[in-house]
């Protein structure tokens, strides 16, 4: 179902609006099923229903909602997360970003002897349920849907501490444009996390090494390591290495 919801959301976003009949043909689902899917997407703020169809509420530069991304490429995200977790030693103080891939990193760190500050409520939830790790929760305002913590309180929490490692996600990453995010407050919190950390690891699916989002977070050389998969374009991997960033490829299983 989640793949069909994403297919519908992407199609309506690309076209601006589409009819129920056209979406049923596109997805090979019944019109009744498509109507239920449109209701679900309307509830997430992705689109607006009208009689016989729907129009997109997502602008080109906006991120697809968390609920639609969370089940995409889960096994790949878990392999990336396991690789990142293996780079972190017991006893470290770690700040873990929001987003779906970083949530998998948080799950991979569950039970470890660490001190962790999660930067979203989704990430924090993945770390709860045991005595370890020790959690430090930032203040701030939770962004709707993403539940990432942003604003002056979140940034002040980060400025008061010093971490061994920051694990950051990204919306886009290229050698030319650096690490980018869709949201300006989110970009500011990422920068604060990076400033507070001795080592910065970016973890991202390879497709994002072809994208640039609105808000600049940092130049590529501010990243000590990029952990990605083998779908990352070879030319972009080489460009990042030339910019001074180490790129580690996690192959598909």
- Over residues 169-193, mean pLDDT: 96
What is the Cα–Cα distance from 201 to 84, expressed in whole angstroms?
8
**Closest by Cα among 147, 154, 152 to 126:** 147
So what's the pLDDT on residue 130?
78
Residue 15 has what DSSP assignment?
Answer: H
Q: Does the pLDDT at position 146 exceed 60?
A: yes
The Cα-based distances of 1 to 5, 40, 72 in angstroms read 6, 11, 11
**Greater model confidence, 235 or 62:** 235
Among the residue ranges 7-16, 86-95, 151-160, 219-228, the one predicted with the least confidence is 7-16
**List of domains in the chain:** 2-60 (1.10.10.10), 69-250 (3.40.50.1360)
Nearest C-alpha neighbor of 158 from the set 122, 127, 186: 186
For residue 2, pLDDT over 70 is answered with no
pLDDT at residue 45, as a whole number: 75
pLDDT at 153: 97
Query: What's the chain's length in residues?
Result: 253
Beta-sheet pairing, 93-96 with 163-168: parallel
The whole-model pTM stands at 0.81
- CA dist 249 and 253 (Å) reads 12
Instruction: Phi first, then psi: give them for residue 65, nearest 5 degrees.
Output: -55, 150
* Per-residue pLDDT at 156 exceeds 60: yes
């Amino acid at each position: 179902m989640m793949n069909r919801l994403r297919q519908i959301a992407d199609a309506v976003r690309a076209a601006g609006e589409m009819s129920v009949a056209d979406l049923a043909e596109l997805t090979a689902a019944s019109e009744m099923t498509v109507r239920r899917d449109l209701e679900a997407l309307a509830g997430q703020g992705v689109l607006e229903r009208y009689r016989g169809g729907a129009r997109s509420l997502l602008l080109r530069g906006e991120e697809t909602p968390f609920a639609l991304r969370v089940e995409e490429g889960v096994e790949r995200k878990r392999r990336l997360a396991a690789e990142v977790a293996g780079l972190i030693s017991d006893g470290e103080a770690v700040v873990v970003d929001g987003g779906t891939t970083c949530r998998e990193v948080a799950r991979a760190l569950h039970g470890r002897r660490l001190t962790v500050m999660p930067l979203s409520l989704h990430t924090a939830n993945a770390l709860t349920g045991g005595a370890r790790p020790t959690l430090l929760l930032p203040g701030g305002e939770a962004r709707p849907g993403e539940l990432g913590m942003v604003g002056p309180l979140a940034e002040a929490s980060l400025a008061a501490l010093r971490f061994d490692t920051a694990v950051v996600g990204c919306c886009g990453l290229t050698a030319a444009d650096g690490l980018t995010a869709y949201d300006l407050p989110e970009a500011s919190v990422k920068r604060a996390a990076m400033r507070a950390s001795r080592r910065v690891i970016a973890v991202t699916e390879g497709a994002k090494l072809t994208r640039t989002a609105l808000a600049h977070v940092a130049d590529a050389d501010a990243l000590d390591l990029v952990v990605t998969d083998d779908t990352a374009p070879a030319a972009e991997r080489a460009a990042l290495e030339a910019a001074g960033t180490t790129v580690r490829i996690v192959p598909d299983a």
